[in-house]
């Protein structure tokens, strides 16, 4: 049976160990999600999705119970994707490897914005890949910026003994398989939506509330993974049933708007990411 959502983002922490130029960060209080809330969310999501993504803001590998949360996800028959900057992969590898719930690890290589210790960083990433049995996505979401991409790609070519020049073939939005279950996924850099940004005219479409929702570390439900401040607060899963939250007039207006190529919420009107779906 098809579930309503292809994925649900769960922000298990909004703490981070980097301050990246492309990330707005968050003004919300820093927290780690409790096991009690995590279990409540997983029970609430039954029948809505099969796939959990441990990310909105923050670095999920900072959570001291990341291994336990993966085991709990398996207990409830969910598959998990994790998006990480990769810095802690060497320290938490034992908590990730051989976890039946772990489907994919997305490693944001574009988070390394300087050459400082980049070889040390890459060796940690490569060491994890050598041991992992899940899917790995090496993300380069900064193709429009001045970055270390060329050097990163050269090191990937060396590590995997690739017979072709990735640097010449790389194109935004087109993944490259470099070995079984391991891919490079390049994309253009995007700006996080902000209420301070200028409204973007034209048709609007988004997958928020269509095939995804996100749940912030305090239980706040938002339409998508880019509402890192909880601006479009649809309700709190601690206080309301998910079915009640999703049947609200606000949710109906958002869904109806996008079905008519209109952005209803102020944040959505200023979100540049949605233009990827209409151009």
Q: How is 207-257 classified by DSSP, letter by letter?
A: -BTTTEEEE-TTSEEESSTT-TT--S--EETTTS-HHHHHTSHHHHHHHHH
277 has a pLDDT exceeding 70: no
pLDDT digits (tens, 9 = 90+) for 144-200: 554 567 788 888 889 988 876 776 777 777 888 989 999 988 887 777 788 988 898
Q: Mean pLDDT over residues 86-106, rounded? A: 97
Which residues are CB-contacts of 278 (< 8 A; sequence separation ≥ 6)? 202, 203, 204, 205, 261
Q: Please give the Cα distance from 115 to 230 (Å, whole number).
A: 34
Task: Look at residue 258 in the predicted model and tell me its pLDDT.
Answer: 93
113 in Cβ contact with 147 (< 8 Å): yes
CB 168 within 8 A of CB 121: no
What pLDDT was estimated at residue 141? 63
Average pLDDT, the chain: 90
Name the more confident of 188 and 29: 29
Burial of 1 (0-12, 13-18, 19+ CB in 10 A): exposed
* CA neighbours closer than 13 Å in the CB half-sphere of residue 168: 3
Cα separation, 175 vs 64, in Å, equals: 32
Residue 70 has pLDDT above 80, yes or no: yes
Distance CA 185, CA 170 (A): 9
Q: What are the C-alpha distances in Å from 34 to residues 12, 133, 236?
A: 8, 28, 15
Residues 225-272 pLDDT 10s:
999 999 999 999 999 999 999 999 999 999 999 999 999 999 999 998
The CA–CA distances, whole Å, from 258 to 106, 226, 278 equal: 28, 16, 11
pLDDT at 274: 74
The confidence score (pLDDT) of residue 143 equals: 53
Residue 153: C-alpha distances to residues 177, 179, 189, 250 (Å): 13, 14, 17, 45
pLDDT at 261: 92
What are residue 152's phi and psi, to 5 degrees?
A: -55, -45
Whole-number percent of the chain with pLDDT over 70: 91
For residue 142, pLDDT over 70 is answered with no
30 pLDDT above the threshold of 60: yes
pLDDT at 157: 87
Going by pLDDT thresholds of 50, 70 and 90, the confidence category of residue 117 is: confident
Checking if the pLDDT of 111 tops 80, the result is no
What distance in Å separates the CA atoms of residue 104 and residue 102, rounded to the nearest whole number?
6
Evaluate if residue 100 carries a pLDDT over 90: yes
Beta strands, E only, 147-215: 176-179, 182-186, 212-215
């Amino acid at each position: 049976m098809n579930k309503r959502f292809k994925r649900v983002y769960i922000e298990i922490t909004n703490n981070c160990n980097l301050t990246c130029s492309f990330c707005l960060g968050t003004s919300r209080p820093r927290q780690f999600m409790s096991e009690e809330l995590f279990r409540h969310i997983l029970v609430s999501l039954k029948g809505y999705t099969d796939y959990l993504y441990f990310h909105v803001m923050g670095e999920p590998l900072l959570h001291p119970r990341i291994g336990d949360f993966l085991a709990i996800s398996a207990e409830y028959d969910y598959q998990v994707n994790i998006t990480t900057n990769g810095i802690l992969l060497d320290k938490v590898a034992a908590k990730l490897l051989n976890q039946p719930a772990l489907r994919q690890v997305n490693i944001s290589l574009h988070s390394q914005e300087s050459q400082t210790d980049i070889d040390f960083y890459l060796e940690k990433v490569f060491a994890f890949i050598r041991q992992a049995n899940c899917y790995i996505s090496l993300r380069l979401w900064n193709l429009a910026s001045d970055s270390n991409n060329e050097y990163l790609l050269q090191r990937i070519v060396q590590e995997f003994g690739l017979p072709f020049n990735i640097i010449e073939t790389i194109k935004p939005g087109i993944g490259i398989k470099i070995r079984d279950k391991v891919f490079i996924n390049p994309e253009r850099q995007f700006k996080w939506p902000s209420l301070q940004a200028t409204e973007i005219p034209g048709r609007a479409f988004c997958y928020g509330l269509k095939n995804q929702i996100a749940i912030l570390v305090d239980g706040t439900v938002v339409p998508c993974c880019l509402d890192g401040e909880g601006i479009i607060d649809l309700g709190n899963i601690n206080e309301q049933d998910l079915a009640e939250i999703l049947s609200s007039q606000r949710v109906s207006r958002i869904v109806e708007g996008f079905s008519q190529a209109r952005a209803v919420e102020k944040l959505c009107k200023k979100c540049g990411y949605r233009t990827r779906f209409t151009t």
